[in-house]
Structure 1
């Protein structure tokens, strides 16, 4: 049951299972992985509710029974100390340009007050009589107004008995300013002759030390880091913005009343609309009139424009690069391919990798553990006889250096970048679990018709009589006779003839059609017949008929003025890139298996051409699903690639289902990955993208964990000053986001895409 991002009450018959409702919420106030863990746990306390919260998009995807209303979900999030609202638009990775400007202004004002304090504190030669009081006057507004977002969120957290990254920052700033105030007023640091040496390691400090540089550097570093981090996160999530930009607001409809412009929302299936040169196609449809080329690069990743004419399918968002088109709408709104692409990208960005789920679980107890460590460190140093200054320094450093932010950003930012890059490459990934499965796949089961082959009748080969009129003339004359034919063989022959000719095909007169035999007519004074091959054929023409039979193709004879001039082989031919794509998968360590419902002859021909040794012909949809299950039982990690309704069961049964974007909606719905572009190399590119993304996620998480493992002991033992601790904390998050950003420009290298010898596709024989 689907609802419009809201709660729904479903009525079910006795004994049936309630279908959960999925609601997307925009969550505000989250700053680290501890926040993510807290929101997920609070929502999970409701019966039947599960939630996936994404720090990078500030959103939560909640699955809940109809008995749980959206208002209850929002109330639970708000009770946890965060803001929540129903997400009616696509999730965004940040709060928007207005919030960005406000953050930039706060950072600028904080920097104006903090930089003089840092300069005087770090360069003893610049210190003058009363310098510390000037620093104090500048530090107070920075540590109060400048750091107010942290203080406010800490207070809010205390009201709800929670602690987050902001709690640590607020306590660190407060402790630094508090100690400095004590030192100035009662600790002997307020005299006019006071000078302070500087060292990044507090164990080397001499005399009374004021930590005004810590009180200002912590909010400056964290605010600046979050500003840069937010911009970087927005950069990783621009895929949806780019997809939204492909749509148009209006469409020019043509009907009996003439032409008129209507809002896109009012366009209905079956209506005809105009697409002028340079305009995007308003929605998915079929060309009724006109011939043009459409640019699908922003949708499929294919750079070459695609020629379209009457009866050709066009996709909403494709740009008309040529002539005027009249298109009949076949899908509108959420049913279009562009909408499905956007939905898959959104779904993928809400998912989490297995490693990230572990990181979020750790982050859930991380902040309370850091607070405990800080108190223990303070007590230990005081109990060990150290002066209060050293004890407070170690305690503040522990509070400041702790960073669960990087843990929370490790997977979401990489997924945002990878799914966006995949969408631009024509590979739609269903989420982190799909990437994890794709990386581990060792066997791929391939459907034949429509997957490895074109799925439509095409001229596979033309064999002409030696010394005859030649291939081009044969096709021109035969195509003229078949022009306008509704028979699949005739359409294939006519399409090939039109594609090979620069001029229109000549007219035909005295046309005759004989059922079961063929057609004939006069073309430029020649009697041309196209039909079933005669039994008395000899030589190369007879051999061509035999070759077509072996390949399970149909052969037709072209006769001109009573002489058999050629045999044309027509059938479902291999995609041009099929061999190289399968060979590339084999080189990546993925074993290909061919499974088809077709007869053994054509299936064996395809397998022979592609060097596939494991072949299964005449397999029903249930047989394909059973084959996938058997391979999995044998210990293989299986991916299934298909395009039809009959492939849906196998796609769903496999460890990973991969559907071709030009296939059926049922196949796409059952798949984990959809290939929007028709180039089969997209399969290998998807494998490489998955491997690179998982490598990036592991590197992010390794850095996030290693950072805390190294810096917390240094801070606790007094070897890390609060100022470098603040910088290190901000840099750790920036490194994670920057590492993820590299995926936005990733492309398979020449070595990765090398497929060895380039074999020219040949006809199946």
Structure 2
């Protein structure tokens, strides 16, 4: 029997992409049928026997696209007509990053020595040739590589060796590496400028032999880095920016040597000196601006303090380096100090400033037993906490890891630049030879021919093409993080920037989700809370849904204790089903009325229209026992946020499993038209509705609970989850909004639009610069005006073009709105200011 397996395909933008992926997968041995969907970014492969995922991944990557496999057994189905998808699919197990195929490990490391997009392709090609390597992503802006590999077939040392053989320097992540790179470039510029200055002084005063000797010395000292890079590229069968600079400056040196030997009347000492100085100065500026861009993320990475005050058994304090801190110890956090690790508050209350972690504008009050995030600041009195998470186990580390993965992702907009960059350098060399040849043949002037040759070689800038997208993603995602917005994929930024439909869940998204004024209405005289409350509490306390939390709090406050020993199944979007086997089998259902009706519970006519609020039904053993009504408030910022989206032309829709009357009430207050309200939907209904919109060619964003709305978030073009920072690893969604504030949804959309605007500006500038600069440097003005751009000006323009692209991206850190520095009036009521600081001794009083 044949099998069918579904894969997520990234990077497809048109039907040509579909054909390329189809062709690549059809070539795999044993494949009988391939179906690729552009709308769903999905490929279904039918084969006589299961195909190892690394073969599928390799085939798709060779075609220029990405593939992922959730390793979900539910996706491995017999070939044939697809069965209707169930409506109660349980979300996949939690994972802090996209799941990797079984047996593969994931690692990230730095790669030094990259200068342009060709370097990126060279490293990726070298790594993909290694046995056991799966997905590979190299990022020029962050000078990093993220890959998956099979540790049984290769090792990190072997991969590092392959990269070194290609002419680059891999190393483990190092916070000081960026500074070292900048200082290395600065030293190179100083040496080049010093020797170049001596050469210009000697020029015209010393003998020609001395001038040539110093010119060779200058070329060796200032141009060695370009020769090394060019040689490494040549060994790998490619050419890069180093190749162009090495050829251009060597041509100027060669022309000077020809002058010394009497073949030409003058030299090109000035051209050689200024070319090297301008290009090295450009690399210094580029390194400085890139370091500034990276610092946006490094500032967050350095939030953890270097030491902690550990409370010893006798109550005394001991200052302990963070590296020696262990889980389970108690630490004292003084006022104004940052929390050294994740933990649990053990006494009193705490006021925590999360502005640098999640973007919360004001301190948040925490009570005993609540979770605390390392890197946050104590804004109130000193308190004690029990350490639960250190290093890689902290929320802060997971946040940074997700952002770095997003920064390494290539959105589809980069595809065109990647393809042009792959042939850019060979094409430039051909144009340089053509320009020089034309001047030699038409004028017979050797100097003009060499100037045209050098000008074209040094003016062309593949760096700008390679840096256009990753630098904007780097700055945009880092700035968004400071605003409490976590982009988990670079592609999500592009998708969010062009959404047509914004689908929103109701409870906990449009509304606060802090349900109050709980009213119980029994269906019969025997349905008292005294008799049923313990079983209801046992069921709802095992769910994280806002309604379940509200019912759990209400029942607990009324002195009800849970009846333990149950088996509880949570059906997303519907409710809970609990069973007890203590004697007579007992089944309890807690959920919306549609759920109860689907389960065969007979429902008498209920008064659902007079009062507002969420209506929850309770049934025992197939009979209605009663209903809870819970009041829920609209978020104060919701109406303004929706108005802003609609003003940008986004079609806002409300998707909810709640009853129609309540959905219409909330929609009216939020400013959503009545015909845009879709109520009493199951999770499967939500997915089908989103799929229908996408089949109509619309880009859909879904906003909801990252756990209960997991299916809808996965189906949407971009899934946005309202998330708590401590629950990051359980959330599904391409974008996470950290903190209880819907205004971040507006900020995320504006950040995505501005980031994509910068990417388009950068790509437009890179294309325009090269299209204009190459003809000018090649002497196109000479036949008409007898004007010729000196090659050293071309070199200066090339150096500044990369700096312009990176600096333009860096401007995002100032143009993206929002952030913790500002308190937005739309953020709604906040907690009162923290109380005056009190003294807390290390031991309990």
The TM tier, using the shorter chain, reads 0.7 to 0.9
Q: Is the 8 A contact 1:643 1:663 kept in 2?
A: no
Give the structure 2 partner of residue 341 of structure 1.
399
Residue in 2 that maps onto 1:288:
346
**Kept after mapping to 1: 8 A contact 2:702/2:720:** yes
Shift of 1:330: 5.5
- Give, in angstroms, the shift of residue 313 of structure 1: 4.1
Paired position in structure 2 for 1:661: 723
The RMSD of aligned alpha carbons is 3.9
Match of 1:49 among 104, 125, 134: 134
2:161 paired with 1:80: no
SS in 1 for 2:296: helix
Q: Does 1:592 align with 2:657?
A: no
Q: Specify whether residues 210 and 666 from structure 1 end up closer, same or farther in structure 2 by C-alpha distance, changes over 3 A only.
A: closer
3-state secondary structure, aligned to 2:681 = coil
- Give the aligned partner of residue 399 of structure 1: 457
Q: Deviations over 1:573-598 (max 9, x none)?
A: 23232222222222222222222334
Select which of 734, 738, 745 maps to 1:676: 738
Which structure's CA Rg is the greater one? 1
Judging changes above 3 Å, is the alpha-carbon distance between structure 1 residues 553 and 445 closer, same or farther for their aligned structure 2 residues? Answer: closer
Q: 1:462-473 maps to which residues of 2 (within 5 A)?
A: none
- Cα 1:634/1:370, change in 2 over 3 Å: closer
Residues 183-226 of structure 1, C-alpha deviation per residue, up to 9 Å, x if partnerless?
133147xxxxxxxxxxxxxxxxxxx4321111111111111100
Query: Which of 242, 249, 253 is the equivalent residue of 1:177?
Result: 253
Task: Provide the secondary structure at the position in 2 that maps to 1:297.
Answer: coil
Q: Provide the rounded CA distance (Å) in 2 between the counterparts of 1:430 and 1:723.
A: 43
The equivalent of 1:557 in structure 2 is none
Counterpart contact for 1:459–1:571, Cα < 8 Å: yes
Preserved contact between residue 249 and residue 263 of structure 1 (Cα < 8 Å): yes
In structure 1, how many angstroms separate the alpha carbons of the residues matched to 2:410 and 2:424? Answer: 19
**Quick one: distance in 2 between partners of 1:129 and 1:343?**
59
Q: For 1:420-460, what per-residue CA distance to the aligned partner results, in whole angstroms no more than 9, with x for missing partners?
A: 11111111112331111001112122222222222224479
Deviation at 1:702, TM superposition (A): 1.2
Conserved? CA contact 2:178–2:291, under 8 Å: no
Instruction: Report the secondary structure of 1:281's partner residue.
Output: coil
Structure 2 counterpart of 1:743:
812
TM-aligned CA deviation for residue 663 of structure 1:
7.2
- Compare 435-444 and 244-253 and name the one that shifted more: 244-253
Cα contact 2:166–2:235 (8 A) shared by 1: no
| Pair 1:696–1:667, CA change in 2 (3 A) | same
Please name the residue that 2:178 is paired with.
Answer: 96
Please point out which of 55, 58, 70 is paired with 2:143: 58
Q: CA deviation at 1:149?
A: 1.4
Q: Indicate the larger mover: 722-731 or 357-366.
A: 357-366
Query: How far has the Cα of 1:625 moved from its partner?
Result: 2.7
2:666 is equivalent to residue 606 of structure 1:
yes
Cα distance, 1:245 vs structure 2: 1.5
- Give matches, 1:221-236, under 5 Å: 221-236=278-293
Q: Give distance in 1, aligned partners of 2:826 and 2:417.
A: 45
How far residue 664 of structure 1 moved from its aligned partner, in angstroms, is 7.6
25, 29, 34: which one aligns with 2:109: 25
Show the 5 A alignment for 1:355-394: 355-384=413-442, 386-394=444-452
Aligned residue for 1:581? 641
Separation in structure 1 between the aligned mates of residue 107 and residue 371 of structure 2, nearest angstrom: 34
- Asked if 1:731 corresponds to 2:731, the answer is no
- Residue 33 of structure 1 and its aligned partner are, at CA, apart by 1.3
When residues 758 and 175 of structure 1 are mapped into structure 2, their CA distance, relative to the original with a 3 A threshold, is: closer
Q: Structure 2 CA distance, aligned partners of 1:370 and 1:234?
A: 29
Q: Does 1:693 align with 2:779?
A: no
Quote how far apart the aligned CAs of 1:616 are. Answer: 3.3
Taking the TM superposition and a 5 Å limit, the aligned residue runs for 1:130-141 are: 139-141=215-217
Aligned-partner Cα distance in 2 for 1:60–1:218: 31
The one of 144, 147, 164 equivalent to 2:223 is 147
Q: In the superposition, relative to structure 1, how do residues 407 and 513 fare at CA in structure 2: closer, same or farther (>3 Å)?
A: closer
CA distance in 2, matches of 1:667, 1:299: 16
For 1:639-658, list aligned pairs within 5 A.
Answer: 639-658=701-720
How many residues of Structure 1 are paired with residues of Structure 2 in the alignment?
633
Q: Cα distance 1:64–1:292, how it changes in 2: closer, same or farther (>3 A)?
A: closer
Other-structure match for 1:220: 277
* Structure 1 position 277 matched with structure 2 position 338: no
Matched-pair contact (CA < 8 Å) for 1:38–1:364:
no
Alpha-carbon contact 1:299-1:676 (below 8 Å) kept: no
Cα distance between partner residues in 1 of 2:659 and 2:285? 60
| Shift in Å, 1:416 | 1.2
2:749 and 2:181 map into 1 onto residues whose CA distance is 38
Change (3 A) 1:160 1:340: closer
> For 1:723 and 1:456, how far apart are their aligned partners in 2?
66
Q: How far apart, in 1, do the equivalents of 2:359 and 2:346 lie?
A: 26
Deviation track 1:36-92 (CA, whole Å, cap 9, x = no partner) reads 12222333345763322111111112234555423443343334332334x3x37x6
Q: Taking structure 1 as reference, are residues 422 and 60 closer, same or farther at Cα in structure 2, changes over 3 Å only?
A: same
User: Displacement of 1:391 after TM fit?
Assistant: 1.8
Mind listing any 5+ residue stretches in structure 1 that lack a counterpart?
1-10, 122-127, 189-207, 462-486, 496-511, 516-545, 555-568
What is the CA–CA distance in structure 1 between the aligned matches of 2:654 and 2:327, rounded to whole Å?
Answer: 37
- 1:550-569 equivalences under 5 Å are 550-552=611-613
Task: Give distance in 2, aligned partners of 1:83 and 1:514.
Answer: 64
Pair 1:421–1:380, CA change in 2 (3 A) = same
Distance 1:105 1:333, change over 3 A: closer
Alpha-carbon distance, 1:319 to partner: 0.5
Tell me the SS of whatever aligns to 1:22: strand
Aligned to 1:191: none
Task: Encode CA deviations 1:315-362: one digit per residue, 9 max, x unaligned.
Answer: 222101111223345655434332221112111111123232321222
Structure 2 unaligned regions, length at least 5: 1-70, 77-100, 520-548, 562-606, 616-628, 783-787, 830-845
User: For the residues of structure 2 that align with 1:58 and 1:644, how far apart are their CA atoms?
Assistant: 32
Which residue is equivalent to 1:466? none
Give the drift of 1:156.
Answer: 3.6
Write the distance in 2 (CA, Å) between the matches of 1:230 and 1:759.
38
Counterpart Cα distance in 1 of 2:213 and 2:494: 54
- In structure 1, what is the Cα distance between the partners aligned to 2:707 and 2:763? 40
- 500, 510, 515: which one aligns with 1:442: 500
1:665-703 Cα shifts (integer Å, max 9, x gaps): 478642111111322111111111111111111111111
Q: TM-score, normalised by structure 2?
A: 0.67
Kindly state the Cα deviation for residue 760 of structure 1 after the two structures are TM-superposed. Answer: 9.8
The CA deviation string for residues 385-429 of structure 1, in whole angstroms up to 9 with x for no partner, is 513222222212222112111111111111111111111111111
Paired residue secondary structure (1:748): coil
CA distance in 2, matches of 1:301, 1:609: 27
Q: Secondary structure at the match of 1:338?
A: helix
* Counterparts of residues 103-118 of structure 1 (less than 5 Å): 103-115=185-197
SS at match of 1:26: strand
SS of equivalent residue, structure 2 residue 280: helix
Q: Does 2:113 match 1:37?
A: no
CA contact (8 A) 1:12 1:18 kept: no
Give per-residue Cα distances to partners, 1:458-500, cap 9 Å, x unaligned: 4799xxxxxxxxxxxxxxxxxxxxxxxxx968978999xxxxx
> Residue 745 of structure 1: CA displacement?
1.2
> Per the alignment, do residues 289 and 622 of structure 1 end up closer, same or farther by CA in structure 2, a change over 3 Å counting?
farther
CA distance change for structure 1 residues 454 and 328 in 2, over 3 Å: closer, same or farther?
farther
The 1:107–1:265 alpha-carbon spacing in structure 2 relative to 1, beyond 3 Å, is closer
